[in-house]
Amino acid sequence: MKHSWMTNLSPELFWDVRRAEVSPEENMPWLVQRILTYGRWEDWVLLLSHTTRDELRQVAGRLKIPLRERIFLDNYLEGLK
């Protein structure tokens, strides 16, 4: 698997897809949305260790996430400028 770090993400994030078919480059909005909505804290930390803040900013506007997750992401993106 090209992105071996993804094997450490929680299995429940991939209940409806094959993990091996998810590419962070091609599916970043889906992956971020899934982690924010259904993931564990460890999944978020793992995503941050393999994604830049700018990459997250680029997809933030396209995410369909609940308000609580939107506020969390916005606060993360606003902090540490």
Q: How many domains does the chain have?
A: 1
- Tell me the pLDDT band of 65, cut-offs 50, 70 and 90: very high
The model's pTM is 0.89
Domain hosting residue 63, numbered range: 4-78
Residue 81 has what pLDDT? 52
CB atoms within 10 A of CB 47: 22
Residues ≥6 apart with Cβ < 8 Å to 63? 29, 32, 33, 36, 70, 73
Total count of residues recorded for the chain: 81
- Give the tokens for residue 18: 């094959």
For residue 43, pLDDT over 90 is answered with yes
Q: What proportion of the chain, given as a percentage, has pLDDT over 70? A: 95
CA 81 to chain centroid, in Å, comes to: 20
Give the residue, 80 or 29, on which the prediction is more confident: 29
